[in-house]
Amino acid sequence: MNDSAATPKQILEALLFAAEEPLSSRRLAGMLEEVTPSVIADLVRELNADYLRETRAFQVQEVAGGYRLVTRAEFASWVGELRASGASPRLSQAALETLSIVAYKQPVTRAELESIRGVAVEGVLKTLVDRELVRIAGREEGMGRPLLYGTTDHFLEYFGLPSLDSLPRPDELEILFADRERQEELQLEDELAAPAFGEHVAADEE
């Protein structure tokens, strides 16, 4: 069918096509031989350019420390019909909040999660462990040695994240904290002048 020898790009495509999980560039490079991980990234770019030009219905996605082939979003309604039975339910607000804390604070104990959310999280944690979005990451040293939780590779896959670093940076927080320091200075000045912490005084300022 094809007389010429298989090219690295074709082999890469065959591997991505046949894989059931994202393949890291290291693993791909190991199987391709004579190819370094950085070449893999170039080949992936070439493949995606091919697919775009040839209006293929899928593309290579960089996710969870590797690459995988996925359908393009514009075919979601057709493919969704096909895969409807396998779809997992959307995560609840409680699950998403808990998950975002786990993602940023990991490894993190249940007590810390509850202190930040202000509510019990055990039911939510169970769901997240069940859905393999959260894993047990060890135990904290010290009293009671509570379990520590962290996110899984499936977490990255589920949210289409190449790595944990690609989580949205909490820039807002930095702004808030900078703000807080300024506020504290102001407040201190206020305090020195004011007789009491009267909130009516504060309200009047508005």
Partner 1 sequence: MADEARSGHTVRIESLDFEGPLDLLVYLVQKNEVDIWDIPIALITEQFLGYLQGMTAERLESAGEFLLMAATLLRIKSQMLLPRPQLEDDEEIEDPRRELVLKILEYQQFREIAEELRDRESAGRLVFPRGLQEWDDELERESGPGMPEPEDRVSLGDLLRSFTRLIDEARRDRVHHLEPLAVTIEEKVNFVRERLRRDGQTSFRDLFVAGEPRSHWIVTFVALLEMVREGEVRLRQGETFGEIHVYAAGEGDGVA
Of the candidate residues 36, 78, 179, 202, the single one contacting a second copy (CB under 8 A): 78
Q: Please state, in angstroms and rounded to a whole number, the distance separating the CA atoms of residues 169 and 17.
A: 32
- List the alpha helices (DSSP H) in 54-143: 76-83, 93-105, 110-117, 122-130
* Residue 166 interacting with a second copy (CB under 8 A): yes
Q: Which of residues 33-72 bind partner 1 (CB under 8 A)?
A: 61, 63, 68-72
Neighbouring CB atoms inside 10 A of 96's CB total: 14
Q: Please state, in angstroms and rounded to a whole number, the distance separating the CA atoms of residues 162 and 191.
A: 48
Whole-number minimum distance, CB 134 to partner 1, in Å?
Answer: 10
DSSP 94-107: HHHHHHHHHHHH-S
Whole-number minimum distance, CB 36 to partner 1, in Å?
Answer: 24
Alpha carbon 37 to chain centroid, angstroms: 23
Tokens coding 31:
């199987």
Whole-number minimum distance, CB 138 to partner 1, in Å?
Answer: 13
**Total interface residues for partner 1 by CB under 8 A:** 83
Q: Please state, in angstroms and rounded to a whole number, the distance separating the CA atoms of residues 56 and 33.
A: 28
Q: Please state, in angstroms and rounded to a whole number, the distance separating the CA atoms of residues 66 and 185.
A: 47
* Residue 202 interacting with a second copy (CB under 8 A): no
Q: Which of residues 93-152 bind a second copy (CB under 8 A)?
A: 110, 115, 118, 120, 122-123, 125-126, 129, 135-139, 147-148, 152
DSSP label of 1? -
Of the candidate residues 38, 89, 142, 168, the single one contacting a second copy (CB under 8 A): 168
Whole-number minimum distance, CB 91 to a second copy, in Å?
Answer: 15
Tokens coding 91:
């995560």
Write the single-letter amino acid at 120.
Answer: A
Partner whose binding site includes residue 192, from a second copy, partner 1, none (CB under 5 to 8 Å by kind): partner 1
* Residue 73 interacting with partner 1 (CB under 8 A): yes
Of the candidate residues 103, 108, 148, 149, the single one contacting partner 1 (CB under 8 A): 103
* Residue 79 interacting with a second copy (CB under 8 A): yes
Which positions from 162 to 191 touch partner 1 by CB under 8 A, shown as an x/- string? Answer: -----xx-x-xxx-xxxxx--xx--xx--x
